[in-house]
A and B are shown apart, each in its own frame.
Chain A
Amino acid sequence: MINIRDKGAAIWENWGRPQRVAFAVILIAVVGLLPFGGNFSFTSFLNTPVSSYQAVLVYPVGMFVLMALGLNIVVGKSGLLDLGYVAFFAIGGYTAGLLGEYTSLNTWEILPIGMAAAMVAGVALGLPTLRLRGDYLAIVTLGFGEIVRIVALNTQSLGASTGIAAIPTPPKTFGLIFDIEHSNSYFWVVLIMILLVIWMVRRFTVRRPGRAWEAIRQDEDVAILMGVPILKYKIWSFSIGAAIGGAAGVIFASKTQYVAPNEFTFNVSVLILACVVFGGMGNIWGVILGGVILAYLPERIRFISNARQLVFGLTLVVIMNLRPDGILPRKKREKLGVKNKSVKEGSDV
């Protein structure tokens, strides 16, 4: 099978700066114009039959891509299996709900607070549990995700099962109106956040944290021997991932204007993890593709509404059997920060 990922990487490597900038601008423009895709006849196949296409682009597509990128730092980059990522999404959402209800802060002011809250939760969960290995971490994070949901469900001040309603939408910013009629504004905000995360992850990857994460992912014991302070970098990875989940939660809450415990089930964690693994763990573009496909597909095939989850499950099984490393896997061997085209593919691991 053709290795699309390496083909793409090779072309990118050969380009000069102007070509790269031009490509990035065109790509961002195309993606930015996606919400209008449903209007033209030649792109009308994009339309989702039941829900509004513009709304689908924000949630689940945009949100899932954003969260998958966040989870990718934890699972793909550092190899820490997190099965409770939805907890951070929920913490962001509930922060937006509470602050929106009891204070006069607007969404942009709440956003950093929500991220900080998720980050604090990430550190609090990470400090004791990141010492554990592999599957124990998986089960503890899974438990944490459920605990957050159950606490929200059973706490009256968090609205119990009805949740928090009438969360304020963001104020008019740069001429963009944010309300139920204007999904596009949210889409562009999410797009900007995704771009920021991509930029951040790419920076991290070639710098010390990225190298430390890679070392931890490949072999923890060796990483310790090489003097990598693994707990510190694991907690960084965990809390950065958490902050991104929190940011997604804040935007989600201000978009739907409503948060309730049943939005934050274990299934969401599984779906986001599926996006990461399905697309190609550790590779940003793969993860984005995975997020787009897995979030968009169930909406697009709503016409078979009853069987769409079934088709979704089948897709997961089939694709994982055909391409176990995901659709766009990471390079087998990463020469971090070194442009070395002579590295033979598939020669190790």
Chain B
Amino acid sequence: MNFSVVTSQFWQLLLNGLAVGLIYVLISLGYTMVYGVLRLINFANSEIFMIGTFGTVVVTQQVLHYTSGHEALHGLHLVLVLLLILVVSMIFSAVTALFVELVAYRRLRAKGTNRLASLISAIGTSIVLSEGIRIVTKSAPVPTPRLLTKFNIATFHGVALRVDTVMVIVGALVLYVAVDRFVSKTLLGKAIRAVSMSEDTSKLMGINLNRVISATFLIGGLVTGAAAFFYMQVYETTVFNVGFNLGLAAFTAAVLGGIGNIRGAFYGGLTLGLFEEFASAVIGGQWKSVTVFTVLVLVLLLRPNGLFGEAITQSRV
């Protein structure tokens, strides 16, 4: 136990926590949106994220031919290249998400079967994806070349604001707001909300269920892909099982905020990221997940619908 770090490194921890938390926010959006429409945990979301990180590597190395020794880019060139990589990893993840929906969920949904069957087929899909990548990469971690010189933009309370951290924070906030606006303002967003309220009623209202569900997976995949891009800009290396721990944390974040609820994912992700950062500074990094889960259990006991969640009124197993 070392409480003094909280005061001595407060701003540093806050900044790291924000950056990690916002990556969680993006990934947990994928979980929470799918949960909203299907009432199912999308177990393959961690693999959707993983494919996104590999999308970043593929486009940087194979398409743009940047190798690890490449000198850093500057100015408009850098911005365009990063945007291109971002878009490609979003597309990678989105395509994977659509694939997962098609393979793991659609047929089973048409048959109207129990929820656990879809859960198992999603787990199966997730195993196929991660094992496929494991075989291709021979289990080795894959680095991506650094294109962005990680200079300090400014110093704030003795903490260096690094450009990649700032990029993650700003980019994730922009995306979150975009998704939130999209779901609350557009017609498709309205359809998504309708399906998450009642599948049957929305069918009666003439909503094409399959299309809405695909769209939800698509949007979830896009933000997860963006999360993968940001993750790669900060950590610069990926491996076939990179999604497991992040996915677990993001799912916890979604539950923490109240699953099925987009703002819940935001608050949940931020809370979890900040809490994780401070808790591991105080009691040591190896206990990180234990404290996170302990808090989760306490939250569920005291506020069963999540910290900021709407009521989930029905039991659904």
Residues of A within 8 A of B (CB): 75, 79-81, 128-129, 131-136, 138-140, 142-144, 146-147, 150-151, 153-154, 217, 220-221, 266, 270, 273-274, 277-278, 281, 306-307, 309-310, 312-317, 320-321, 324-326
Among A136, A217, A306, A317, the residue within 8 A (CB) of B128 is A317
Q: What residues of chain B lie closer than 8 Å to A278, measured between beta carbons?
A: 120
Docked CA distance A131–B304 (Å): 9
Q: Are A146 and B286 in contact (CB under 8 A)?
A: no
Q: Given A80-B317, A313-B128: A321 and B108 within 8 A (CB)?
A: yes
Structural contact, B290 and A129, CB atoms closer than 8 A: no
Q: Which 9 A-B pairs have the closest CB atoms?
A: A316-B124, A313-B127, A143-B293, A324-B113, A313-B128, A317-B124, A320-B121, A133-B315, A324-B117
Q: Is the CB of A139 within 8 A of B116?
A: no
The verdict on B41 contacting chain A, using a C-beta distance below 8 Å, is yes
- Determine the chain B residues whose CB is within 8 A of the CB of A136 once the complex forms: 255, 300, 304
- Chain B residues whose CB sits within 8 angstroms of the CB of A79 once the complex forms: 317
A129 contacts B297, C-beta separation under 8 Å: yes
**What is the CA–CA distance of A143 and B249 in the complex, to the nearest angstrom?**
10
Partner of B259, one of A135, A142, A277: A135
Known: A81-B317, A306-B135, A310-B128. A150 touches B121 (CB 8 A): no
B74 on interface, CB distance cutoff 8 Å: no
A313 interface neighbour in B125, B244, B315, Cβ under 8 Å: B125
B209 to chain A minimum Cβ distance, whole angstroms, is: 18
A147 lies within 8 A of B294 (CB): yes
How many whole Å from B289's CB to the nearest CB in chain A?
6
- Other CB < 8 Å A-B pairs besides A131-B304, A310-B127, A317-B104, 15 of them? A133-B312, A133-B317, A134-B317, A136-B304, A140-B293, A140-B300, A147-B293, A150-B290, A277-B120, A313-B127, A316-B121, A316-B124, A317-B103, A320-B117, A320-B121
| A140, B290: Cβ atoms closer than 8 Å | no
Q: A320 near B286 (CB under 8 angstroms)? A: no
Question: In the complex, which residues of chain A have a beta carbon less than 8 angstroms from the beta carbon of B103?
Answer: 317, 321
Mostly, the B contact residues are helix
A-B contact pairs, 26 of them (CB 8 A): A128-B297, A129-B300, A132-B300, A133-B317, A135-B35, A135-B255, A140-B293, A140-B297, A143-B292, A143-B293, A144-B293, A146-B290, A147-B290, A154-B287, A221-B315, A277-B116, A309-B131, A313-B131, A314-B128, A315-B124, A316-B124, A316-B127, A317-B125, A320-B121, A325-B113, A325-B114
If the complex has contacts A136-B304, A220-B315, are A313 and B286 also in contact, measured as CB distance less than 8 A?
Answer: no
B271 CB within 8 Å of chain A: no
A315 and B127 CA atoms in complex are apart in Å by 10
Identify A324's interface contact among B35, B114, B259, B294, CB under 8 A: B114
Q: B268-306: which residues lie under 8 A (CB-CB) from chain A?
A: 286-287, 289-290, 292-294, 296-297, 300-301, 304
Residue B251 is within 8 A (CB to CB) of chain A in the complex: yes
* Assembly CA distance A126 to B161 (angstroms): 45
Given known pairs A134-B316, A278-B120, A307-B135, the reply for A139 and B127 (CB within 8 Å) is: no
**Measured between alpha carbons, how far is A132 from B255 in the docked complex, in Å?**
12
Write the nearest CB–CB distance from A234 to chain B, whole angstroms.
Answer: 11
| CB proximity to A under 8 Å, residues B18-70 | 35, 39, 41
CB < 8 Å: which of A128, A153, A313 contacts B126? A313
**Which B residue's beta carbon lies closest to that of A271?**
B123
Q: Which residue of B lies closest to A128 (CB)?
A: B301
> Is residue B87 contacting chain A, with contact meaning CB distance below 8 A?
no
The reply to whether B255 and A277 contact each other, CB–CB distance below 8 Å, is no
Does B150 make an interface contact (CB < 8 A)? no
State whether B315 touches A140 (Cβ < 8 A): no
Is B107 located at the chain interface by the 8 A CB criterion?
yes
B141 within 8 A of A: no
Q: Is the CB of A325 within 8 A of B117?
A: yes
Determine whether the beta carbon of B289 is less than 8 Å from that of A140. no
Kindly identify, within residues 82 to 137 of chain B, every residue whose CB is under 8 Å from any CB belonging to chain A: 103-104, 107-108, 111, 113-114, 116-121, 123-128, 131-132, 134-135
B224 an interface residue at 8 Å Cβ cutoff? no
Interface pair B127/A277, CB less than 8 Å apart: no
Contacts of A312 in B (CB 8 A): 127
Would you call B261 an interface residue if the criterion is a C-beta within 8 Å of the partner chain's C-beta atoms? no
Known: A140-B296, A317-B103. A310 touches B255 (CB 8 A): no
Interfacial chain A residues near B108, Cβ < 8 Å: 320-321, 324
Residues of B within 8 A of A326 (CB): 117
Which residues of A lie under 8 Å from residue B233 when comparing CB positions?
none
A326–B314 alpha-carbon span in the complex (Å): 25
What CA separation (Å) do A220 and B317 show in the bound complex? 10
Residues of B within 8 A of A266 (CB): 244, 248
Judge whether B252 is part of the interface by a CB distance below 8 angstroms: yes
